[in-house]
């Protein structure tokens, strides 16, 4: 697969069904998402289309084919946090292991700088070792660990936050 042909395009209405399929796969089959029930199209729309131009979401396309999506969202709703954003990457499950995650991180960091962010934070379920390795490989360091903060599939789950100063 040629990942040099990847395009990041702001999410539009026509992308929502593919986003919903991808996200709901992770809801139903993994602990990557802490939702326990699939989301509706309206709930997906509310999660990925932002009112503030500072926070953006993008689909990842390769020759027009959906590969996944990325989010740059508000870390906390207080003005002093305006220099920080949360970043999230969701890839179509069939696209894992092809280098798309690394391209997505590079894109998120470039977009983050352009939007005036100094710090990016990724919060990950600690069972998601693939995502943890990806962020660590790109210079993100563990800055928080919350124990037993979630409950899904009959087990208690931890999350960890990883940050990178991009300025």
Computed on alpha carbons and rounded to an integer, the radius of gyration of the chain in Å comes to 15
Q: Is residue 137 part of a domain?
A: no
Report pLDDT for 59: 97
Give the number of domains in the chain. Answer: 1
On whether residue 124 sits in a domain, the answer given is no
Q: Identify whether 8 is part of a domain.
A: yes
Range of the domain at 37: 3-117
In a domain, 86, yes or no: yes
Handedness of CA 51, 52, 53, 57 (dihedral sign): negative
Provide, rounded to the nearest whole percent, the portion of the chain with pLDDT above 90: 89
Please write the tens of the pLDDT for every residue from 101-111.
999 999 999 99
pTM of the model: 0.93
- What's the mean pLDDT in 66-70? 97
User: Residue 76 phi/psi, 5° resolution?
Assistant: -145, 150
For residues 146-164, one letter each, b for 16 or more C-beta atoms within 10 angstroms of the residue's C-beta and e for the rest, the string is eeeeeebeeeebebbbbbb
Q: Is 35 a member of any domain?
A: yes
């Amino acid at each position: 697969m040629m990942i040099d042909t990847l395009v990041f395009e702001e999410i539009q209405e026509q992308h929502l069904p593919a986003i919903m399929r991808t996200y709901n796969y992770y809801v139903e089959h993994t602990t990557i998402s802490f939702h326990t029930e699939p989301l509706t199209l309206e709930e997906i729309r509310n999660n990925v289309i932002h009112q503030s131009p500072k926070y953006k979401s993008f689909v990842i396309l390769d020759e027009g084919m959906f590969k996944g999506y990325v989010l740059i969202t508000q870390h906390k709703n207080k003005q002093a946090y305006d220099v920080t954003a949360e970043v999230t990457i969701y890839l179509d499950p069939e696209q894992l292991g092809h280098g798309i995650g690394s391209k997505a991180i590079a894109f998120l960091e470039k977009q983050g700088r352009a939007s005036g962010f100094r710090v990016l934070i990724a919060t990950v379920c600690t069972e998601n070792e693939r995502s943890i390795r990806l962020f660590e490989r790109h210079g993100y360091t563990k800055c928080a660990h919350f124990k037993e903060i979630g409950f899904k599939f009959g087990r208690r789950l931890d999350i960890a936050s990883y940050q990178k100063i991009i300025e």
